Amino acid sequence: MDKVRTTFDKWASSGLDKLMEKEHAKTVLKFLKNIKFKKSFSFLDVGCGNGWVVKHIARNKNCRKAVGIDKSKNMIKNANSKKTSAKEHYFKTDLKSWKYRGKFDYVFSMESLYYSVPMEPQIRKIYKLLKKNGKFFCGTDFYKENKATTHWAEKMKMRLDLRSKQEWKKMFEDVGFEVVTKQVRDPTNSKKWKREYGTLFIIGKKLS
């Protein structure tokens, strides 16, 4: 049994996907607002949940295609039920087994990669899915410096891949990415860690 898939199926059925969207929206949208997307681009969201990021990106006039993949059938069902644009495409699959012909200008992932232990094969696959000079935006609240979240694996009774900021950066560099990191905080949030640490974004650019 795939515990990650069954857990997210339950969350999608119970409406927790909307809470996840609400919890992440402020920092994710703040981050995406500062990205200068080039003219006519394609976009992939790995672990797209109910598709809220894909929908947001599809509204960009320069977006040609926005794709979301998720291993949870219920998350994909929710995403398709709210589809508002022909640019949006959703697939129930995991990154490892997904056979896609073509490459993307941008790949995004929020709170998804660390469910695969270790993460390196996922990052290598994403690298291959990017065009030359394409960028991978990876967001996580689960990192060693953020002590308020390091108990998540124990709480969820799952095996999660916990890394430090520098370890995240090195993983990307080892694959071949040019890397920068950015922490996006929410200064008005009631949770102290969201104010002081926030979401860690690792930005990788494929140079070759």
Q: What digits encode the pLDDT tens for the residues 20-34?
A: 999 999 999 999 999
3-206, which class in CATH?
alpha beta
Element (H, E) at 181: strand 177-184
Its pTM stands at 0.96
How far apart (Å, rounded) are the C-alpha atoms in residues 64 and 110?
21
pLDDT per residue as tens digits for the range 113-159? 999 999 999 999 999 999 999 999 999 999 999 999 999 999 999 99
pLDDT at site 38 = 81
Per-residue pLDDT band at 196 (split at 50, 70, 90): very high
pLDDT per residue as tens digits for the range 152-176? 999 999 999 999 999 999 999 999 9
